[in-house]
Amino acid sequence: VVTRDDVEKSLIAMWQYVKDKEQLLEDLHSQIEETNQKISVKQREKDDCLEYKNVGSKIEAKKIMSLENDIKEVKDAFHRATEYYRNALKAMKEENIRLVSKHMDLVKEQAPENAVRYLDKDSCREIEENGWLKEEVKLYRKEVSDLKASIQLLEEENITLVAKLVDSRLEYLGV
């Protein structure tokens, strides 16, 4: 025998069961919506990554290649400048050696004249009165001044050339 109370309890239990199931269904719908949002976010991230892979990475690769080429050009310019300065230094050393050798030859030629200076007073007077020696001294002084002037001109020319080279290198490097 089923009583009214049993039916009401059964209906309440059914109603509670349906209400729980509806709540569970709502929770599942909200979880599904949340999961769909997460999926869409992940999909956008994936799309962004694919876009970077397909487009952005190529742009970055081009930039990297361009920078590598720039580095190579700078290194080449550096090596050329280094080689130029090495050759210029070598030429200047050879020029200095040549000038020193020439000067040493002049000093060797004048060594006897210097030795004459230590002679007795009478011999020194004779030498001082000798016009030929005076002319030689004048010629030597003139040659020394000419050498100094030519060295000065060479140094100025070298400085000008080095300045032009540095300026052209700086322009070439885009500095």
Q: What is the pLDDT of residue 127?
A: 65
Quote the pTM value: 0.35
Buried b (16+ CB within 10 A) or exposed e, 73-82: eeeeeeeeee
pLDDT band per the 50, 70, 90 thresholds, residue 116: low
112 φ, ψ (degrees, to nearest 5): -60, -35
| Secondary structure class of 120 (helix, strand, coil) | coil
- Which amino acid belongs to residue 83? E
Q: Average pLDDT in the 95-107 region?
A: 91
133 φ, ψ (degrees, to nearest 5): -65, -35
pLDDT tens digits, residue range 7-55?
889 899 999 999 999 999 999 999 999 999 999 999 999 988 888 777 7
Report the interhelical angle of 57-116 vs 131-173 (nearest 10°): 180
pLDDT band per the 50, 70, 90 thresholds, residue 117: low
Q: What residues contact residue 136 under an 8 Å CB cut-off, 6+ apart?
A: 113
pLDDT band per the 50, 70, 90 thresholds, residue 174: confident
